[in-house]
Amino acid sequence: MSITNEDVKKVSYLARIHVKDSEISNIKSSLNGILEFVDQLNEVDCSSVNEIALAPTITHEREDIVIPHDPSLMDNAPQKECNMFVVPKIVG
């Protein structure tokens, strides 16, 4: 698979990164190099690797317990309301 100029423009749009037309060629060659490396990884024989080592199925659950916090932690908060941190909205 080879990255095209249009692919670079689309990815930069999706990532909300401004890319100048003069930078597209350099980015395209870098991304193509990454894809070539990934293709090399696909050639590695992993048949002897135990699958459980890759994806353990045992999960450790614990009870969800509210732990009191030190109220002085709120002293460093740039914004707080009702003893809670106020953070900017990140979903548009």
Instruction: Note down pLDDT in tens along the chain; length 92 residues.
Output: 789 999 999 999 999 999 999 999 999 999 999 999 999 988 888 888 776 655 656 677 888 888 887 878 888 888 888 878 898 888 86
As a whole number of angstroms, the distance between CA 25 and CA 28 comes to 5
Give φ, ψ of 61 to 5 degrees: -105, 150
Q: What pTM did the predictor assign? A: 0.50
